[in-house]
Amino acid sequence: MNNSSPAAPYTTSSWSVSDDSLRRYVFFASESCIQELLSASDSNRDWNGNGNGNDGWKVLAFEEGVEIAKRRSGSESFHAFRSRWLLKSVSPEQFITVANAIDAAKQWDSDLVEARYIKDLDENLSIIRLRYGENAKPLFRNREFIVYERRETMDDGTLVVAIASLPKEIAAGLHPKQNNSIRGLLLQSGWVVEKLDDDDDSCLITYVVQLDPAGWLPKFFVNRFNTKLVMIIENLWKQAQAHPSLINHQTG
């Protein structure tokens, strides 16, 4: 007689944390993300296609005023990608209305079937769920992401939006993963919007993305596709110009 029982299906352990503990954790974790973004946006360097320096960023292209660069981040297998663009006729206050996780996710792939704020932890700190359908591109097909979004204004007026995935155990406690979905990781990512000293209606935009979609995708394919994710500033610029009164927390 066989007394062996069927193997239990693999499940991700989940942690149940209070809102206060979650708020403290995200504020702590997002500090390093904010500093990484500010470092990537360092506008004191020549950024018009000659931005290669000793900080690890390598410029890949400079076309129509947009600089695209990449950097290998520590032990991570996936490169971080950065785009920078000097925007005319759009103020930092205008652009920041579309510099958020949801509007960026819409630009990544049109088959975004769910994008919503699932928890507000503070005035400038939220938890968001992004889910793509089966008709999305391979990088996003049936992927979902549970991310935090923190918005801060620095002492010099620079606006920063830090976005990154929560640890999988905390994410599972907040929102269990659907059986047919793959939970990807958005690593340290986000926006820096800098006002130019001599022009109230122009700003320097820096956008950084580092994405691990999880699943069985070759790393070279992911890194190649990640390059395209940072090339969305122009679309968001047009959106900001067309809808100057947009406010945050839109769910689309």
Tokens 């994405």 belong to residue: 211
Q: What is the pTM of this model?
A: 0.82
pLDDT in tens, the chain (252 residues): 444 433 334 355 666 778 899 999 999 999 999 999 999 987 445 555 455 555 678 888 887 778 888 887 665 567 888 888 888 777 888 888 888 888 888 888 888 999 999 999 999 999 999 999 999 888 888 999 999 999 999 998 899 999 999 998 999 888 888 778 899 889 889 999 998 776 667 888 999 988 888 876 656 556 565 666 776 776 776 666 665 544 333 333
Q: Give me the DSSP letters along 63-93.
A: ETTEEEEEEE-TT-SSEEEEEEEEEES--HH
How far are the Cα atoms of 20, 144, 159 from residue 126, in angstroms, in the given order? 13, 17, 16
pLDDT of residue 221: 57
Contacts of 3 (CB under 8 A, 6+ apart): none
Contact predicate 185/223, CB 8 Å: no
List helix spans (H) across 159-206. 168-174
Select from 186, 183, 123 the least CA-distant residue to 150: 123
What pLDDT, on the 0 to 100 scale, is given for residue 249?
A: 39
Cβ-based neighbours of 184, under 8 Å, separated by 6 or more: 140, 143, 144, 145, 165, 211, 212, 213, 214, 215
Q: Output the DSSP codes for 25-57.
A: HHHHHHHHHHHHHHHHT-TTS--SS----TTS-
Pair of tokens at residue 47 = 């950024």
Give the pLDDT of residue 210.
87
pLDDT of residue 130: 93
